[in-house]
Amino acid sequence: MPASLIGKTAIVTGAAIGIGRAYAKVLAREGCNVAVIDIMPEILELPNELERRGTKAFAVVGDVSDPKVVRQFVDDTNARFGGVDILINNAGKCWVSSSHDDLDKTLADYDGMVGTNLKGEYLMGRAVIPGMIARGGGDIVNIGTDHGVTCGSPRELCPHLDTCPWADSPRPTGGSVVFDVYDSSKYATYALTYAWAKALRPHNIRVNGMAMGATDTSMLRNFLGDAVTPELAATWMRPEDSAQVVADILKEGPNGRTGEMINLCHGRLTLLEPEREPIYVTQDSIGYDRRHSA
């Protein structure tokens, strides 16, 4: 019997558009009160839409890489909703960078992408975890990339497609030559997820991540520009597809999986796969056998 999310409080970062917006909507539909933050002012329009589903919502225009903003946002969410049960670390930035870029571009890339994708996740986690511990549990989902488990080069930009033995998706691990900063910031999601899962299991906080594949959002469309064709876009996930997977992770409840990067690689079904045999976050490392605890 899936756990109910009714009455829980969820934070979704980067929810003005794209994947985060779909996640905020699915959580409201499941009965959560939802607090959202985004640098885009359009975020202020989302609560009206979310509240049509009968729950409460609250939005802030703010940057998740700014610790003062993060602290204030979490304090305000606690004051309105009495605590945070669920954190979805989704806000992200992505553009091309590579090993031979000049130093000025590199600094802007680093601050922009690592600032949001890694520092933002890290700050949001640090801000909500003490409250979750005090409440006796919670859930964190960090949005990573399938570049940790596939090659990551969009086919259209890959300089080696002619000779690539894995030219048909899904492709193997390794990241991309045009994503050194983005991939670095997103591979870090794996480290945060595993470290937090181990440290927080004794506090009934589950921490999972999404090894997210190509999804039809403005991030991917802006990145590929004219290379987007209807045929190509038809191979991508819709944000709503992985939103249901997030809801399904959360509905596993306190005895569900922890420390898993859910595989949503390009070319696979958008479904919550059965729990995998843990490799990085083992029963020994969390001192707890969740399969025999229910």
Ligand X SMILES: NC(=O)c1ccc[n+]([C@@H]2O[C@H](COP(=O)([O-])OP(=O)(O)OC[C@H]3O[C@@H](n4cnc5c(N)ncnc54)[C@H](O)[C@@H]3O)[C@@H](O)[C@H]2O)c1
Residues contributing to the site for ligand X (CB under 6 A): 13-14, 16-20, 37-40, 63-65, 90-94, 116, 120, 143, 145, 212, 214-215, 217-220
Shortest Å distance, C-beta 44 to ligand X:
12
Beta carbons within 8 Å of 237's beta carbon, 6+ residues apart: 213, 214, 215, 216, 264, 270
Q: Give whichever of 212 and 262 is closer to ligand X, judged by the CB atom.
A: 212
Is the separation of the CB atoms in 76 and 46 below 8 Å? no
231: which 2 tokens? 């045929």
What is the CA 110 to chain-centroid distance, rounded?
19
Measured N-to-C along each axis, helices 121-135 and 180-200 cross at an angle, to the nearest 10 degrees, of 10
Nearest CB to ligand X, comparing residues 20 and 175: 20
Name the minimum Å distance from CB 91 to ligand X.
4
Nearer Cβ to ligand X (38/252) = 38
By beta-carbon proximity to ligand X, the closer residue of 32 and 91 is 91
CB of 7 to ligand X, least distance (A): 26
Q: What is the DSSP letter of 278?
A: P
Closest CB 14 distance from ligand X, rounded Å: 3
DSSP 134-151: HHT-EEEEEE--GGGTS-
User: From the CB of 86, what's the least distance to ligand X, in Å?
Assistant: 16
Nearer to ligand X, 92 or 256 (CB): 92
Distance CA 187, CA 183 (A): 6
